[in-house]
Structure 1
Amino acid sequence: AKKAMLYGIGISLVGSIPFFFSVSFLLWEVSLIACALVSGGAVASWGCFLKSWTPKNERIKTCADVLIYSNIMMIFINLMAIYLSPFIGLGLSMLALILAGLFTALLPVTKEQIAEVSDAKVSLSLKEPMLFLILFVVIITINSGLMYQVFNPAFEHLTWLTSWYWAVPYIVALIIMRNLPTKVKRSYFLYVGMAMIMTSFIAFMLLDRSAVSYFVVDTLMLGACGIFDLFWWSIIGEMLEHSDQPVKIFGIGLSANVFGVLLGGLLGSSITSLNVSSASVTVIALTVICITLAILPPLNNQLMLLLKSR
């Protein structure tokens, strides 16, 4: 796992260099695909250390910290790229990779971690929960893909605001969820997230495209995304206890996340390509959201029952 992380960071550093130069678009595409591939492997490998060095009841806080600080870094790098220079943003990204490589090199490796990585199969007892998890995560993250295609283009004229505020509600929601008492059932907040997403689409349909409207819509939507993301990350953290393959479990969960965003993006692109009015697009998107969110409660119940039975 440690080697996979170091290789992923190293290849990502090398793959970032072509973007400093006006080379062929094909080389940029190849570099981007290669970086995405190895980065996915590196992040999945981090699941091994999440299981080994974080107590079960503390994993949700560790996952929240990772999501919070990574989004703060993204906001800062994004601001530097927009208001100073894209090359400065790229340079800061590479600096972050270098620091990540240094910290990764300092991570200790135990014999248990080596044994877990060397095993080639996921326990049969986890196959059914994993299927539920994949479907659960894909349904949740379809909403994120829809957001990128429906919300963002409508407010692109507010660059001074969208360049930094886009992730603030997400971070705030993560902080709130992270610091909830352990006795509070976080699954109840799924319903809060559902209500926030539906309200955000209704607000998008009724409000104008001003800065105040963006505050309302983005706060509701990204706050809900923060609730959902931390919830399924915590589910994966629990599943690590039931498997000797934390890398595969974590990787499958992350791939389901990306796949859901991709599906949502494709669906949003298809909707917007119809050239219908903004209200009609929102109604279509809201219908999709209602259908997908209606499936979430039974999926969550089944997943939690399966985990408790193991």
Structure 2
Amino acid sequence: MKRNYMYIVLAYGLFLGWLLSFPYNGPVLKHLVLIHQVPIASFSLVYTVVPAVFLIIYLLFFQIKEEYAKNIMNWSITACIVGTVILFTLPTYYWYPVLAVMGIGSVMYIIGWSYYYTMEIPIDEKMRIMALVIIIGNSIYYVINILHDQISIGFLLAVIIVPLIGAFRATSNIAVNNKIAVELEHEPLPVKLIFVICSFLFAVNITDGLTFHAIYPSFDQLFVEYFTFYGIMPYIITLVIIFFFGTKLSIMFPVFLGTSVLGLAYLSFGLMGKNWYSYFITETFLQMGWALLDLVLWTLFGLIASIYGRPLKICGYAFLANLLAVFAGGLLAVRILNKLDNYFIISAAFAIGIIFISFLIVPWLSEAIEKDLRNKLFKTNLQNKPIEEISPLSIPLPQREILTPREREIAELLIQGFTNKQIADLLHISENTIKTHTRKIYSKLDVANKRELLQLSFSSRMSKGRSS
């Protein structure tokens, strides 16, 4: 692994370990709350809702330049380090503003990291790198979850600070290839595609809040000793398998598998009730499903940012959907499901609904991303190839005989995806001359624009193929 890849992996992997272990409803926060005898719900709410409101304001009114990504990460992680020390040393009435600042800092750190993940990690390596990041984060969580109530409060502070300091060091060492940064395109964002993926992320992550408030409390008193040691082991093992075989998988296959396994978890919970085999089956399926879906969904956002640019904005939408889903899932469980006698069955029905929606969405999602990715790679190849090496191809066009030789030449280059400037450089004529020829081409072939010209060429190619 390249050194820069290693720094990118460690930066977020270590930060994620701290995040899962402490402020994100982690065991360390629960331990502190237990010591101080205060309710955890209000603190978790602050850490979720305040960053969500901040993200809404950021996405609506602000545009942060990618060049400030490292500064954003450094300031954010500094706020998290200071906040962690305050929570361990000061009275609980300081916790609310501190957790609010830490929540915003956590969100901004991850958004800043998304820029480096987008810019530096090749498309075919994104899933494996994301898997490794999540493995590191959850391994730290697993160790701290075992140790948190076995050591003194001072030693616990030292343990939880170490990942943050390591993440800060790794962040400081990340480098960016300026040439790649310059080449990042800023095309119009695919609003429809982002909306669909965010909606999918929202639907899947509602199960997170639902599980913590409706399913786990059902098992907590019966199998509490198993939660610490078994817990996320299926999650980590699933990601380890993906890390070693991730390059051989279609990015959409884990989505189908993950939603199916998650549905099986809810079905087992709904049908088998509260017993030891129900716990192990449900927990295994839950962790496997979350591992696959977490990996693919966050990889997808990195992939879309690689195609369209603006990773800070795209990651912001993803994180907002995630926060709103966890909040909505908890609200759904606490306010509605827990008050119903048959919430086991409702949970299973909810999971089946997610599976049904997923199998409707994923084929369209796969086709849309693959199409955009092909276009991106095509444009990149054109931009990286010297213009002198490019020659017109013989492109099927109906009524091509009504075009002059120069017009046929220009039409063929337009169909290949060349811009007016590239064609002008290749043919050694002005862009205005290209525009004049283009208008004549459109008029003679009875098309209105370049898109209709491409459709005409495609139709001609298809009819020629059928006749042969």
SS of aligned partner of 2:336: helix
Residue 360 of structure 2 is aligned to residue 285 of structure 1: no
User: What is the letter of the counterpart of residue 214 of structure 1?
Assistant: Y
Counterpart position of 2:379:
none
Q: CA deviation at 1:97?
A: 0.5
Residue 367 of structure 2 is aligned to residue 300 of structure 1: no
Return the match for 1:59 from 126, 132, 135: 126
Counterpart position of 2:81:
13
Instruction: Please give the alpha-carbon distance, in whole angstroms, between the structure 1 residues aligned to 2:146 and 2:246.
Output: 34
Instruction: Please give the alpha-carbon distance, in whole angstroms, between the structure 2 residues aligned to 1:202 and 1:42.
Output: 37
User: What is the letter of the counterpart of residue 283 of structure 2?
Assistant: D
Counterpart position of 1:43:
110
User: What is the letter of the counterpart of residue 264 of structure 1?
Assistant: G
User: What is the letter of the counterpart of residue 10 of structure 1?
Assistant: T
Instruction: Please give the alpha-carbon distance, in whole angstroms, between the structure 2 residues aligned to 1:263 and 1:305.
Output: 30
Over 3 Å counting, the alpha-carbon distance change for 1:90 and 1:211 in structure 2 is: farther
Counterpart position of 1:124:
188
Residue 293 of structure 2 is aligned to residue 192 of structure 1: no
Q: Is the 8 A contact 2:263 2:355 kept in 1?
A: no
Instruction: Please give the alpha-carbon distance, in whole angstroms, between the structure 2 residues aligned to 1:217 and 1:72.
Output: 21
Q: Is the 8 A contact 1:116 1:246 kept in 2?
A: no
Return the match for 1:79 from 146, 156, 174: 146
Instruction: Choose 199-208 or 48-57, whichever is displaced more.
Output: 199-208
Instruction: Please give the alpha-carbon distance, in whole angstroms, between the structure 2 residues aligned to 1:308 and 1:272.
Output: 39
Q: Give percent identity, aligned residues only.
A: 22
Q: Is the 8 A contact 2:119 2:181 kept in 1?
A: no
Bigger relative CO (Cα 8 Å, ≥ 6 apart): 1
Counterpart position of 2:291:
226
Instruction: Choose 184-193 or 231-240, whichever is displaced more.
Output: 184-193
Instruction: Please give the alpha-carbon distance, in whole angstroms, between the structure 2 residues aligned to 1:96 and 1:181.
Output: 26
Q: Is the 8 A contact 1:81 1:88 kept in 2?
A: no
Q: Is the 8 A contact 1:81 1:90 kept in 2?
A: no
Residue 212 of structure 2 is aligned to residue 168 of structure 1: no
Counterpart position of 2:170:
103
Q: Is the 8 A contact 2:262 2:289 kept in 1?
A: yes
Instruction: Please give the alpha-carbon distance, in whole angstroms, between the structure 1 residues aligned to 2:263 and 2:309.
Output: 39
Q: Is the 8 A contact 1:236 1:250 kept in 2?
A: yes
Over 3 Å counting, the alpha-carbon distance change for 1:207 and 1:286 in structure 2 is: closer
Instruction: Please give the alpha-carbon distance, in whole angstroms, between the structure 1 residues aligned to 2:182 and 2:251.
Output: 33
Q: CA deviation at 1:116?
A: 9.1
Q: CA deviation at 1:114?
A: 7.0
Counterpart position of 1:215:
280
Return the match for 2:159 from 88, 92, 100: 92
Over 3 Å counting, the alpha-carbon distance change for 1:291 and 1:205 in structure 2 is: closer
Counterpart position of 2:322:
257
Q: Is the 8 A contact 2:255 2:362 kept in 1?
A: no
Consecutive unaligned residues of structure 2, counting only runs of 5 or more, are 1-68, 373-468
Q: Is the 8 A contact 1:203 1:217 kept in 2?
A: yes
Instruction: Choose 8-17 or 291-300, whichever is displaced more.
Output: 291-300
Instruction: Please give the alpha-carbon distance, in whole angstroms, between the structure 2 residues aligned to 1:241 and 1:109.
Output: 14
User: What is the letter of the counterpart of residue 292 of structure 1?
Assistant: I
Instruction: Please give the alpha-carbon distance, in whole angstroms, between the structure 2 residues aligned to 1:257 and 1:50.
Output: 19
Over 3 Å counting, the alpha-carbon distance change for 1:75 and 1:181 in structure 2 is: closer
Counterpart position of 2:313:
248
Q: CA deviation at 1:112?
A: 5.6
What is the number of equivalent residue pairs in this alignment?
303
Instruction: Please give the alpha-carbon distance, in whole angstroms, between the structure 2 residues aligned to 1:102 and 1:202.
Output: 44
Deviations 1:187-241 (A, max 9, x none): 2333332332232223223435444432211001111111111111221122122
Q: Is the 8 A contact 2:120 2:177 kept in 1?
A: no
User: What is the letter of the counterpart of residue 8 of structure 1?
Assistant: S
Q: CA deviation at 1:142?
A: 1.4
Instruction: Please give the alpha-carbon distance, in whole angstroms, between the structure 2 residues aligned to 1:247 and 1:112.
Output: 19
Instruction: Please give the alpha-carbon distance, in whole angstroms, between the structure 2 residues aligned to 1:174 and 1:224.
Output: 11
Deviations 1:161-212 (A, max 9, x none): 2123221111112122233363433423333323322322232234354444
Residue 142 of structure 2 is aligned to residue 142 of structure 1: no
Deviations 1:253-295 (A, max 9, x none): 2322222222222111123441x44xx1111111222223211
Return the match for 1:237 from 299, 302, 305: 302
User: What is the letter of the counterpart of residue 174 of structure 1?
Assistant: L
Over 3 Å counting, the alpha-carbon distance change for 1:155 and 1:241 in structure 2 is: same
Counterpart position of 1:152:
216
Q: CA deviation at 1:62?
A: 0.6
Deviations 1:20-42 (A, max 9, x none): 235143x1111111101111100
Instruction: Please give the alpha-carbon distance, in whole angstroms, between the structure 2 residues aligned to 1:116 and 1:5.
Output: 23
Rg larger for? 2
CA RMSD of aligned residues (A): 2.4
Instruction: Please give the alpha-carbon distance, in whole angstroms, between the structure 1 residues aligned to 2:366 and 2:135.
Output: 25
Instruction: Choose 57-66 or 158-167, whichever is displaced more.
Output: 158-167
Return the match for 2:100 from 21, 30, 33: 33
Instruction: Please give the alpha-carbon distance, in whole angstroms, between the structure 2 residues aligned to 1:95 and 1:227.
Output: 28
